[in-house]
Amino acid sequence: MASWNGASASELRRIAETWLAKFNEALRERDYTRVSSMVHADGYWRDLLTFGWNFRNLHGVDNIREWLAEAFELNAADDFRLESEPTIGAIGEHDRTLEFFFTFDTGIAGGRGHARLVAISNSPDGLKAFTILTAVMELKKYPQATARNRARDDLRVVSRELENWRDRRNKARQFKDKDPEVVIIGGGQSGLMLAARLGQLNVSTLVVERTERVGDVWRNRYHSLQLHNEICMNHFAYLPFPDTWPVYIPKDKLADWLEFYAETMELNVWTKTLFLSGEYSNLAKRWTVRLRLADGSTRTMQPGHVVLAVGVSGLPSIPDFEGKDDFGGKIVHSSGNTDDLNVRDKSVLVVGAGTSGHDIAQHLHWRGANVTMLQRSSITVVSLEPSSVRPYELYRQNDGIRPITDTDLIAASVPYPLLARLHRPLSRKMAEDDKDLLDGLRKIGFLIDNGEDDTGYFLKLLRYQAGYYLNIGASELLIEGKIKLKVAVEIKRLEARRVIFSDGSALEADIIVLATGYKPLQEGVRAMFGDEVADRVGPIWGIGDDGELNNMYARTAQEGFYVAGGGIPGARAYSHYTALLIKAALEGLISSRPSTPHTEQKNAPAPVTLTELHYA
Ligand SMILES: Cc1cc2nc3c(=O)[nH]c(=O)nc-3n(C[C@H](O)[C@H](O)[C@H](O)COP(=O)(O)OP(=O)(O)OC[C@H]3O[C@@H](n4cnc5c(N)ncnc54)[C@H](O)[C@@H]3O)c2cc1C
């Protein structure tokens, strides 16, 4: 049995190199039985674009062998080499793993990977991979213009067309005589980071943003908002935040950063521009998109690719209430402006108990309102510390030590099905640590769950970005009765100044804030692109049968159509792959339509119980 207890750095390196050489040899010989036998019976392989231009994750030896036999035959890779010093880590029940990055070559692309080996007593060489990640990093013919490959102007040609950098920038962003290759709808963090990545690949890109200034999506959110997760995981692609910034970024600071990012990354953003509609021509392989510009005129463009980056959906979910027109007070959705409401001594009903519901209720309480929160169904509540930070311990430990691209790869090496397994015990541990908080909430009747499959808040965040609250103080206000609670009832009807609930009870109300979330993003697609495109694309977000997010960041069943979005970490990490997919399609390396539909893994082994999350 292999052991690396007390092994020196050079011995660890030799162990990793030897394993990788065998792995490479077996792949070169197309001996997929041998390759898969190097994987743990309960092991995972995740691939990001290398073997089929899609995101795949496979679990178990048989699935990996069958997949390789098909995918590797079409897109082979070679030259697997250790990249840097291996480290000792741990994951779940495996309390000692040997972990390392490696590089590889597919002919058209250069890739990086990450492996976690575990010691196995009954294996001849004693080592099996528990996780393998392979990911495309660059298209060899079309490298990013970054670092050593940064753009170099010839300084000696002083009279060149009498244009300086500013002139060229102004011209580029106008798109006067030429349409962009890519139109990104939405200039939030997702749209901007993807535009930055496409820019580095020399793809002409226009971002259209309906608000007045880049960053307004954050500026317009409620007054008290700060990011709920720490700065360590929120750095932007190519441009980390300064060391002087605080741990929790205030929304207006982030808003200004978005504006600065758009300028400094030389992004072409048209603000006050509304995306109206888009139709795709299968013949021309181009979209016809209509935009309403800042001056009220309409511009039609014909890009090859369109990316939807409008956030949660752009369409607030607003329930219809009987008697709505009779209500004499104000009704506002949480996406609207709640800051300008005159709330002192007013009775306010906040409908919805997600993050926005809690934050707005708390903020209104501080501003002197008498607040009642209406909770219809259960949510997951965790303390900000110690619990909410546990899932991203990896980012906390590596902040300022490793490049964030490396940390993103380590995070990506844990596919969603494995992440769900790891989060069952972890979320239970969080609930134990938060016992006092949760008991306090239960005592007042607040409905609490631990996620649909007992995986806690983090999987909810990854799947839907909804259904949880990281407590920044509203829970205590509820427990102390400073914010009142109404549970498990619906609004039956509204009267002039009263809300009548389904249990017959009533509440005097001057203002109703609907923190009722957003319509599914597929409905946003429907509104902008029509039924055919929306039905072809299908549901967006959620984890599909194949263990990957549905239609996020990857090619969709609609040619030339992609969806970007979500929290900053996902937007940063996965914009890299969306940009490569678009560049590869533009250069004729792939069709922009997915070659294989997502399929279910039929005979994946039953996962063993992993007792603890620990993947630093
Ligand atoms: C209370 C709260 C707390 C949060 N905390 C965190 C956190 O801690 N960490 C984190 O990473 N994220 C956090 N988020 C952000 C969350 O991840 C959001 O989902 C995020 O804003 C998504 O970014 P995005 O770029 O995908 O979309 P958005 O930021 O919503 O940007 C979409 C943009 O598209 C524009 N748009 C929409 N429709 C059109 C159209 N037809 N034409 C032109 N433009 C259009 C909008 O104006 C907007 O600017 C929080 C959000 C909220 C509300």
Give the DSSP letter string of 514-573: E---B--HHHHHHHHHHHHHHHHH---SSB-TTSSBTTSSS--SSTTEEE--SSHHHHHH
Ligand 1 midpoint to CA 525 (Å): 16
Ligand 1 midpoint to CA 312 (Å): 7
- Does 161 have pLDDT greater than 70? no
Is residue 121 very low, low, confident or very high in pLDDT (cuts 50, 70, 90)? confident
Any ligand 1 atom below 6 A from CB of 228: yes
Relative to the CA of 189, which ligand 1 atom is closest? Answer: 25
Ligand 1 midpoint to CA 126 (Å): 48
Relative to the CA of 221, which ligand 1 atom is closest? Answer: 53
Q: How far apart are CA 141 and CA 246, in angstroms?
A: 40
pLDDT of residue 278: 97
Relative to the CA of 528, which ligand 1 atom is closest? Answer: 41
Relative to the CA of 291, which ligand 1 atom is closest? Answer: 42
Relative to the CA of 192, which ligand 1 atom is closest? Answer: 25
Is residue 155 very low, low, confident or very high in pLDDT (cuts 50, 70, 90)? low
Rounded average pLDDT over 313-324:
88
Number of C-beta neighbours around residue 115 at 10 A = 29
- Segment holding 208, helix H or strand E: strand 205-208
Relative to the CA of 217, which ligand 1 atom is closest? Answer: 49
Residues with Cβ within 8 Å of 407's Cβ and at least 6 positions away in sequence, in order, are 394, 395, 398
Bridge partners for 280 per DSSP? 287
Any ligand 1 atom below 6 A from CB of 208: yes
Any ligand 1 atom below 6 A from CB of 215: no
Q: What angle do CA 238, 243, 246 make, to 5 degrees?
A: 110
For ligand 1, atom 28, name the residue with the nearest CA. 311
- Does 146 have pLDDT greater than 60? yes
Any ligand 1 atom below 6 A from CB of 312: yes
pLDDT digits (tens, 9 = 90+) for 274-290: 999 999 999 999 999 99
Ligand 1 midpoint to CA 482 (Å): 30
pLDDT of residue 611: 39
Any ligand 1 atom below 6 A from CB of 363: no
For ligand 1, atom 15, name the residue with the nearest CA. 567
pLDDT of residue 338: 85
Ligand 1 midpoint to CA 359 (Å): 16
Ligand 1 midpoint to CA 188 (Å): 6
For ligand 1, atom 6, name the residue with the nearest CA. 227
Q: Given the structure tokens 């317009």, which residue do they identify?
A: 220
Residues with Cβ within 8 Å of 361's Cβ and at least 6 positions away in sequence, in order, are 350, 371, 373, 474, 477, 483
- Does 8 have pLDDT greater than 70? yes
pLDDT of residue 239: 97
Of 47-61, 104-118, 499-513, 587-601, where does mean pLDDT reach its minimum?
Answer: 587-601
pLDDT of residue 195: 98
Relative to the CA of 356, which ligand 1 atom is closest? Answer: 1
Ligand 1 midpoint to CA 190 (Å): 8
The whole-angstrom distance between residue 96's C-alpha and the CA centroid of its chain comes to: 29
Bridge partners for 110 per DSSP? 105, 138
pLDDT of residue 164: 86
Any ligand 1 atom below 6 A from CB of 187: yes
- Does 351 have pLDDT greater than 80? yes
- Does 145 have pLDDT greater than 50? yes
Mean of all residue pLDDT scores within the chain: 92
For ligand 1, atom 4, name the residue with the nearest CA. 227
Q: Given the structure tokens 């109703």, which residue do they identify?
A: 512
Any ligand 1 atom below 6 A from CB of 578: no
Any ligand 1 atom below 6 A from CB of 356: yes
Report the SS3 class of residue 470: strand
Rounded average pLDDT over 475-487:
98
Any ligand 1 atom below 6 A from CB of 613: no
